Amino acid sequence: MQNRLYCDLRLRSCRKTTILLVLALFAITTTVLLCGTGSPTSNTRPAEASDISKQTFAPCTRKTEAWRTIRSKHDTLIEDKFTVAVSTFHRPNELKRILGILLSDHIPSLLEVVVIWNNFGEEPPAAYDSEHGVRVRYRIPPRDSLNEKLWPDPEYRTQAVLLSDDDVYYRAEDLEFVFQSWRKFGKDRMTGALARCATPDNNGQWEYTFCTGHSIDKYSIILSNLAFAHIGLLDYYFSDDPAMTAVRNLVDDKFNCEDIALNFAASLLTGSGPLLVQGRDQYVNLDPSTGISRNSGHMEARSQCLNDFAHAFQCMPLVDESARIERGYRFNVWYKSLWDRFTYR
């Protein structure tokens, strides 16, 4: 009996010893794997280029003082009127239509329409005044570049410039409302009709989207094919800042993304996101099926612009915004049916 008890005790002791040895060995192995067996730096390596390119750039530090200085340069320009800068390229029907929309009805704050005449080889029409006293003039850019649409024309007489393509426009009765919204809330922002999003993907790369899915409640870009911008933003866009010079060169190389670039410049200067403003009625977009935005690979190219521009700035200036402004009060009532929701005016 005593021999059996002695063997049991010895067996238990051996089991405990074995368990302790296993735990000790596990701890030693883990320490070696985590810390390495050499010097503290022997198991580290410098980040490769592919690792760096996958890092999402940190937000930029806004240039508040620079923006204040730039705005003050243009304080003598008219503040309560606006200029429309329409970019056109061999599309006479679209140009005729948008000019008719802008000039047929009286838009109280519209001072001038400047047509950026990209019909190289064709003489533009002579300047004229509409029946409502709106001046219409044509400017021939020195070269075929998307940057030219954003040039701070020294002949502009207003602080507000509505950047527009010839195939997209607000209805005349809404345009005055959008301008007054810009005056009240949007002077430090790109303010317009078409919002887009920039979101980081799983690899830390920026992706350009139509603001669907998880990002539906926020946006960070307003397209410059229908947007108000303070002339100071255009001034900075064409400045000698090395980052802006690099960005303009990228726009020329890609023949794309000048609108994204202007949003980068705006948010960098002001630290503010864009502002989406909708009229009582939907804006009109006649963008043809053959337009640049319909090309295969367009979204991928725009995403690449986001990453290239962030690299040029060495930070990400875009700021998310979740609010918008809409004309009227029809969504401030109680609807009895879904039909009422879409038919109530």
Lowest mean pLDDT among 168-177, 255-264, 274-283, 286-295: 286-295
Q: Which of 307, 254, 315 is nearest to 53 (CA)?
A: 307
What ranges in the chain are assigned the alpha helix state H? 2-35, 49-53, 64-73, 92-104, 172-181, 231-237, 242-254, 258-270, 298-313, 338-343
Strand, helix or coil for residue 140: coil
Residue 64's pLDDT is 86
Lowest mean pLDDT among 80-84, 135-139, 331-335: 331-335
Cα distance between residue 73 and residue 102, in whole Å:
29
How far from each other are the two terminal CA atoms of the chain, in whole angstroms?
Answer: 100
Q: Work out the average pLDDT over 35-55.
A: 38
pLDDT tens-place string over residues 308-338: 999 999 999 999 999 999 999 765 555 566 6
Of residues 187 and 333, more confidently modeled: 187
pLDDT tens-place string over residues 9-43: 444 455 545 545 545 555 555 444 444 433 333 33
Taking domain 57-326, whether its CATH number is 3.90.550.10 is answered by yes
Q: Which of 179, 86, 177 is nearest to 136 (CA)?
A: 86
pLDDT tens-place string over residues 198-249: 999 988 899 999 998 764 789 999 999 999 999 999 999 999 999 999 999 9
Residue 62's pLDDT band (cuts 50, 70, 90): confident
Q: Where are the domains of the chain?
A: 57-326
Residue 128's pLDDT band (cuts 50, 70, 90): very high
